[in-house]
């Protein structure tokens, strides 16, 4: 079982760069990059909320459960 992060897909659909999103949600590029590449081990709800507001999406658009 795995949680897959589709942040890069949603960003591409919205035509938003990583630096643009980092500025909007007040995160460092390094932390946002870790999340985008799926290497993050956790995410705060406040961070997820800020990302969803900036990208005008739902948490389910960013996170998906994939059975292995």
CATH number of the domain to which 8 belongs: 1.10.260.40
Residue 1 banded pLDDT, cuts 50, 70, 90: low
Name beta bridge partners: 5.
63
C-alpha 10/C-alpha 8 separation (Å) is: 6
Global confidence as pTM: 0.90
Give 13-51 pLDDT, tens digit per residue.
999 999 999 999 999 999 999 999 989 999 999 999 999
Tally of domains within the chain = 1
Residue 30 sits at the vertex; the CA angle it makes with 13 and 45, to the nearest 5 degrees, is 70
What is the chain's percent helix, strand, coil content, to nearest 5? Answer: 55, 10, 30
Q: Residue range 41-64: average pLDDT?
A: 96
Question: Which pLDDT does position 68 carry in this prediction?
Answer: 81
Question: Which pLDDT does position 3 carry in this prediction?
Answer: 92
Residue-number span of the structural domain to which 19 is assigned: 2-66
């Amino acid at each position: 079982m795995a949680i897959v992060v589709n942040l890069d897909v949603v960003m591409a659909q919205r035509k938003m760069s990583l630096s643009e999103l980092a500025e909007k949600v007040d995160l460092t590029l390094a932390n946002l990059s870790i999340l985008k590449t799926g290497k993050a081990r956790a995410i705060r709800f406040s961070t997820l909320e800020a990302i969803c507001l900036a990208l005008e999406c739902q948490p389910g658009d960013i996170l998906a459960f994939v059975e292995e």
